[in-house]
Structure 1
Amino acid sequence: MDTSSSPPLPRDDDAHVNGVAAVKSPSDDEPDNVERDTKQDEEEGDDGPHPVSHVALPQILKEVDSFLRRGDPVEVESSSGPAEETRMIELLCERVESAVGKYSSSSRLGCDPNDEACLFDSISRLSRLTNKLESVSSKATSRGIQLLSRTSSALQRAMVLLEDELRWSLDRQSRTNNEPELKTIKSKPSFNLVYQLDRSIPEPNSEEDELLPVFSPDTVSRMNRICSSMIEAGYETECCMVYSVSRRNVFKLALTKLGLENMNMDDVQRMPWESLEGEIRTWISAIKQCSTDLFPTERNLCESVFSSSSQISRSLFSNLVRSVAIQLLNFAEAVVLTRRAGEKLFKFLDMYETLRDLVSSFDESYDADAAEEVRAEILAAKTRMAEASVKIFYDLENSIKSDNGRTPVPNGAVHPLTRYTMNYLKYACEYKETIEQVFREHQDRSSNNDDDESESTGNDHKEDKVKVANRDGESSPFGKELMSVMDLLDVNLDMKSKLYRDPALRYIFLMNNGRYILQKIKSSPEIHELMGDTWCRKRSSELRHYHKSYQRETWYRLLQCLSHEGLMVNGKVSKQALKEKFKNFNTMFDEIHKTQSMWVVNDEQMQSELRVSVAAVVTPAYRSFLGRFSQYLDSGRQSEKYIKYQPEDIEGLIDDLFDGNAVSMARRKT
């Protein structure tokens, strides 16, 4: 609704203003009104709360309008003209006081539309009378000053009534039952407080509570006439105060229904993260509800009630938004000041997105100064939330650097640090656009700030940034930070691999962790886009290198037992040397099987590739050696003693490797 073109206050020649009947000119001939008002006067007589003359209201208003058209100061003369006008002013005051007394004691506005229209017509004339008498009070006679006192007193009583009626109308919490077409604003559901690293939206509850009362068109129209009358009479401050206080109370109740408690800084600081995470979800829901439903609804109501003054409407609405925004932003400020922890990043980013969207929801319907002030407060809170998010991400880098545990992961499995880091990055990249914006804003602020930031980021981190800044294909600040994290993780894993005494297990550990990292990146389009195909190809090449190094450390040593060296003595096969060869092979193979069947390779594809590659190296060599030299051993018990395995047995035992369980040789042979 464009409030800049709102119509002016009601004038005598207005036929209709915003759906509210305007004041009729005394020149309009309305015999029905004359008859009704005359009859009303006769019924009231001298027994009413304020005795009035039996002069019809249209006649009183006609004489008053005649007085208002005069430009000269008030003079009480003996001539019938001015004296008659003065008497009509007295009668108008009596009429207003009589109506005020009736409504104050027995009923509310809206019970009788005709009486209500007459009251507003009378109050409008009384307001203009008072304004005119005040404007000429310095030149008025004593009688004129008495008239001013008389009209001011009657007008004040009328304003007390209208103020009470406005407050009563605003404080009504339920709408009429005969208007089912009107929509009500509903509250969002409560949320589970269990922490989740995802962005899923909870299912709504079946029960919905009304957040804001929805007023009927008649009620809005009546409040519009009340406010227009109070503003015309010079009671703008009182009118705005009643409206403002009432609507702020309504919004306070609405936020409470949404589950948003007015917590202070200490409350937030002491709250466990699991509970605070739930409060953040409620806070986000409340802001979205305000920006998409509550604020637009309130703006429409304010524009309708104060259609006679777009300036007042904008000011009241903007001040209300500012008071609600302060409460919401205070919570955000308190959350930012809590102790930093890695799991908080995602909720901080949620809050950042919410504040960013809240700024964009402001439009021209807000008062310029108030909107700019609120916008500045939101932007400041958003900036602090962004800085806190960046620092949390830097904490991830620092935690990788400082992870100097000296206990190796059993059986070469994926290290918990690798799992945590990659899952963390995967979830972070679900916020790719937002976190990219956060880092870009941080970079822009840093480039304009000459202060030393070593306390928050560390000099080592700066060196890491320089190291990755020149890589091809990297342009985004977050992409550089992501690459820095991967470099730090590689260095840390390489250090942890040296904790294993067995070189073969060291390479299994590096393969496990490298494969896990690569699969995580390939399964996340966001990370894969940031890391690039070149990085992935390099990682795959490293895995192949680890694979070959593992085979060299384990199986090439075993194959040395099958070499022909030392078997020939004087041109003949030495049975003793052959027996030693088979004996050494069996012993070493048993030891490898016993050890490496307990090692862990979680990735099924890599596990299968390792087994196939081992079988491809060992089985043919063993089959060839066995086929060539088994004939030199005596058949029977001697042969069985030294030829412990057939090639098929070797293949079956290789299939036991990397299961994480020790397999009994006897059970395998049976």
Structure 2
Amino acid sequence: MDSRSQAPLKSSSFSSATSNKATREVDRNLSLGALRHGDHDRRGTPAGAATWEQINEEGEEEDDDGSGEPGPGVSALSGEIDAFIAGHDAGVSIPEATLERFAAAVEQEIAQSEKARDKWAADGKGELLLAAIARVGALASVLAKNTEASAKYASGAHRVTAVLHHAMSFLEDEFHALLEPKAADTCKLARRPASFEQGGHEADRCVLRPPDNAAHSAHAEPTQPYPPETVDRLRSIADTMVGAGYVTECTQMFLVARRNAFDASLRALGYEKASIEDVVRMTWEALETEIATWIKAFRHTIRKGFTTEHDLCAHVFAGRHASVGRAIFADLARCVMLNLLNFTEAVAMTKRSAEKLFKVLDMYESIRDASPVIDAFLSVSANDEPAAGCNSDALTDLKAEIAAARSRIGESAASIFCELESSIRADAGKQPVPGGAVHPLTRYVMNYLKYTCEYNSTLEQVFREHRRRDDGGDNPFAAQLTDVMELLNTNLEGKSRLYKDPALSNIFLMNNGRYMLQKIRGSPETNAMLGETWARKQSTNLRQYHKNYQRETWNRVLTLLRDDGVLTVKGHVQKPQVKDRFKQFNSAMDEIHKTQGAWVVSDEQLQSELRVSIAAVVVPAYRSFLGRFAQTFSAGRQTEKYIKLSGEDVEGIIDELFDGNPSSMTRRR
């Protein structure tokens, strides 16, 4: 990853959306170099051409009164130049010496400005100089288009063209300097009065306010990259350069500078470019951090960055050059976004695992929410003139790229969720959980689903797009969720058969089923997804497990407490049989206390329900049995030998079940 800040060069690999001219070389060391260094002397005058001083010596008066106003050579000649520009088609002519004097006068003003410490002081000279340069551009265009004029004014045309190149080189330098971040920072610290205000802009006004269009809906006002006076200067220079036909140099300089600034702002948020190979090789811990940073950078770009750049382009390239600004913004947006979207492609290529789902869904939501923003900018550009057609093309292409990235990430999210089913099927452990407690798989799946259902609307959207089902359900994600729950139930039923004691199998199923139901009811999102039908079915299953448990454990105990015609015969108590029943009951209760005391029911409500339901059946039956047969034994040692438990003792044994503490009745007493 390369975190070095690239200086805004005057060349770019980006396509210019606004110029029909061949692309010019605009590197700072090469731009207009031949004309500046080959055809000019050190003052910028073409070889063989008259200098400002020479013209004055020939009789033109340089009436500089020391007021700082431009010399009269420019102002005095401007009227003749304008008349020639306006009337050249009608045959209006001009002395060639006038062309050369005007060109030399403008070049003299450029030379003086180049030496000035503050080129854009609030004395109006900046505006007048730009107006003069614009007039040179118009004059050069007239001479170039008119073959007869080019031949007639060959020397003057050469002089005007050379000055135009010098002027454009000068403006390139100024445009570049204003665009540099250092210039922006300096301007923010020292807000000098604007000398390039147009259209009545106020110097202390927030230039980059969001205009009243859909591109700014619901988003906070962006931070301005430049103060108003800098934007005004940039606009004036851009208007002059574009008007003179130097649209490629101007737009590429602007585009590269703003792209560099955008990259710097992303780096400030912690985002660094990474190759697909680097991303694929990352550990999940590292990738999770990178995704979080990417989401922050992506949302900043969509919510603030694009609005800022759109406004800046609209203000710098305004009026008749508005389509140029829209095209620059479109190219910038596409370049920035493609860089960010490359990361999503890399993430989609990484190995799919359940823990990645939530970060991937965060990415999906970020990309999904970007489409309306691009749509809004497209609607703003809907009435562009044909010359700006590739502006819409760039944004349309960007919209397609966003849709493709959304599709890749959505498919990845759907596949990751479906990996959960594979994980459940693969969990075929042969060791039962001690005490019939909640299985780790149950805890993992239910907690996973709880967080998953917080993304229910997003996952519904994802499954509609990537996992269409034929079951006719309204919500494909809800159907997928039901499948997971059924699969988990099937897996748990298989695990319950690992217990040799059928009663413990049912305790295991009760524990896990109750945990599942509590998790569902504790999550409004999950409960809404699965519906009341599933909850009722789960409650029915739990009641059945409860009945099965009581039948396996306590029906045998209750059988010992019944008089089934063996304990009394023709009204006479059969003492040997009664003794045997008490011995069997005592032994059964001791075994239950020892074994089921070690069983675990962690849910307090379920534990209480089990104990109450057992006591409600067993304790009354035992008390009744005692009442009928206790007098069979002689008081003293015989009674103690066979009647070891009172009704309260039986209640105590039941109250100590399912707390995970194995004990025996003997130790308890």
Q: Given the two structures, how large is their TM-score scaled by the length of structure 2?
A: 0.81
Question: Of 163, 167, 170, which aligns to 1:161?
Answer: 170
Structure 1 residue 569: Cα displacement: 5.7
The residue number in structure 1 matching 2:155 is 146
- Distance in 2 separating the partners of 1:40 and 1:213: 43
The residue number in structure 2 matching 1:359 is 371
After superposition, residues 544-559 of structure 1 pair within 5 angstroms as 544-559=543-558
Structure 1 residue 181: Cα displacement: 7.5
- Distance in 1 separating the partners of 2:570 and 2:527: 64
Question: Of 64, 80, 103, which aligns to 1:41?
Answer: 64
Structure 1 residue 57: Cα displacement: 3.4
**Cα 1:102–1:212 shift into 2, 3 Å:** farther
The residue number in structure 1 matching 2:131 is 121
**Cα 1:102–1:112 shift into 2, 3 Å:** farther
Question: Of 100, 111, 130, which aligns to 1:101?
Answer: 111
The residue number in structure 2 matching 1:21 is none
Question: Of 219, 241, 246, which aligns to 2:230?
Answer: 219
Moved more, 214-223 or 363-372: 363-372
Structure 1 residue 43: Cα displacement: 4.7
After superposition, residues 11-410 of structure 1 pair within 5 angstroms as 41-43=64-66, 55=72, 57-72=74-89, 82-83=94-95, 86-136=96-146, 138-140=147-149, 142-173=151-182, 174=185, 175-177=187-189, 214-308=225-319, 309-362=321-374, 363=376, 364-365=379-380, 367-410=391-434
Secondary structure class of the residue paired with 2:153: helix
| AA in 1 matched with 2:350 | T
**Cα 1:64–1:522 shift into 2, 3 Å:** same
Whether 1:535 and 2:534 are equivalent positions in the alignment is yes
- Distance in 1 separating the partners of 2:665 and 2:113: 103
**Cα 1:563–1:380 shift into 2, 3 Å:** same
| AA in 2 matched with 1:232 | G
Are the equivalent residues in 1 in contact too, given 2:507–2:545 (CA < 8 A)? yes
1:296-334 CA-partner distances (Å, limit 9, x unpaired)? 011111110000312111111111111111111010000
Structure 1 residue 608: Cα displacement: 0.5
After superposition, residues 434-445 of structure 1 pair within 5 angstroms as 434-443=458-467
The residue number in structure 2 matching 1:4 is none
| AA in 2 matched with 1:429 | C
Are the equivalent residues in 1 in contact too, given 2:593–2:664 (CA < 8 A)? no
Structure 1 residue 112: Cα displacement: 4.3
- Distance in 1 separating the partners of 2:89 and 2:653: 120
Structure 1 residue 397: Cα displacement: 1.3
The residue number in structure 1 matching 2:644 is 644
- Distance in 2 separating the partners of 1:242 and 1:346: 41
After superposition, residues 453-532 of structure 1 pair within 5 angstroms as 469=471, 474-532=473-531
| AA in 2 matched with 1:496 | K
Moved more, 272-281 or 364-373: 364-373
Are the equivalent residues in 1 in contact too, given 2:204–2:228 (CA < 8 A)? no
Are the equivalent residues in 2 in contact too, given 1:597–1:659 (CA < 8 A)? yes
**Cα 1:645–1:361 shift into 2, 3 Å:** same
The residue number in structure 2 matching 1:195 is none
| Runs (5+) with no aligned partner, structure 2 | 1-59, 192-202, 209-221, 382-390
Whether 1:611 and 2:611 are equivalent positions in the alignment is yes
The residue number in structure 1 matching 2:591 is 591
Structure 1 residue 617: Cα displacement: 1.1
| AA in 2 matched with 1:370 | A
- Distance in 2 separating the partners of 1:38 and 1:638: 145
Are the equivalent residues in 1 in contact too, given 2:615–2:654 (CA < 8 A)? yes
Task: Quote the RMSD (CA, aligned, Å).
Answer: 2.6
| AA in 2 matched with 1:298 | E
Are the equivalent residues in 2 in contact too, given 1:436–1:476 (CA < 8 A)? yes
| AA in 2 matched with 1:105 | K
Structure 1 residue 183: Cα displacement: 8.1
Are the equivalent residues in 2 in contact too, given 1:439–1:477 (CA < 8 A)? yes
Moved more, 561-570 or 611-620: 561-570
| AA in 2 matched with 1:588 | A
| AA in 2 matched with 1:600 | V
Q: Given the two structures, how large is their TM-score scaled by the length of structure 1?
A: 0.81
1:512-546 CA-partner distances (Å, limit 9, x unpaired)? 11111111222222222232222221221111111
Are the equivalent residues in 1 in contact too, given 2:206–2:228 (CA < 8 A)? no
- Distance in 1 separating the partners of 2:118 and 2:263: 27
- Distance in 2 separating the partners of 1:435 and 1:182: 45
The residue number in structure 2 matching 1:623 is 623
Question: Of 421, 426, 434, which aligns to 2:450?
Answer: 426
**Cα 1:509–1:345 shift into 2, 3 Å:** same
Are the equivalent residues in 2 in contact too, given 1:92–1:122 (CA < 8 A)? no
Structure 1 residue 365: Cα displacement: 3.9
- Distance in 1 separating the partners of 2:207 and 2:557: 79
- Distance in 1 separating the partners of 2:552 and 2:608: 19
| AA in 2 matched with 1:580 | D
Q: Percent identity?
A: 46
- Distance in 2 separating the partners of 1:351 and 1:294: 18
Which structure ranks higher in relative contact order (CA pairs < 8 Å, sequence separation ≥ 6)? 2
Structure 1 residue 443: Cα displacement: 4.2
The residue number in structure 2 matching 1:197 is none
Structure 1 residue 166: Cα displacement: 0.5
Moved more, 230-239 or 389-398: 389-398
| AA in 1 matched with 2:141 | N
**Cα 1:531–1:344 shift into 2, 3 Å:** same
**Cα 1:602–1:227 shift into 2, 3 Å:** same
Are the equivalent residues in 2 in contact too, given 1:74–1:140 (CA < 8 A)? no
| AA in 2 matched with 1:88 | T
- Distance in 1 separating the partners of 2:667 and 2:639: 21
Are the equivalent residues in 2 in contact too, given 1:75–1:140 (CA < 8 A)? no
- Distance in 2 separating the partners of 1:349 and 1:435: 8
Are the equivalent residues in 2 in contact too, given 1:558–1:588 (CA < 8 A)? yes
Structure 1 residue 120: Cα displacement: 1.1
The residue number in structure 1 matching 2:36 is none
Which 4+ residue blocks in structure 1 deviate beyond 6 angstroms? Answer: 37-40, 73-76, 180-185
1:318-377 CA-partner distances (Å, limit 9, x unpaired)? 111111111110100000100000111111111111000011111234531001101101
Secondary structure class of the residue paired with 1:71: helix
Structure 1 residue 265: Cα displacement: 1.0
Are the equivalent residues in 2 in contact too, given 1:303–1:310 (CA < 8 A)? yes
Are the equivalent residues in 2 in contact too, given 1:599–1:660 (CA < 8 A)? yes
| AA in 2 matched with 1:534 | T
Are the equivalent residues in 2 in contact too, given 1:212–1:250 (CA < 8 A)? no
Structure 1 residue 442: Cα displacement: 1.6
**Cα 1:182–1:514 shift into 2, 3 Å:** farther
- Distance in 1 separating the partners of 2:61 and 2:290: 64
**Cα 1:490–1:72 shift into 2, 3 Å:** closer
Structure 1 residue 214: Cα displacement: 2.6
- Distance in 1 separating the partners of 2:207 and 2:133: 34
The residue number in structure 1 matching 2:657 is 657
- Distance in 2 separating the partners of 1:622 and 1:224: 99
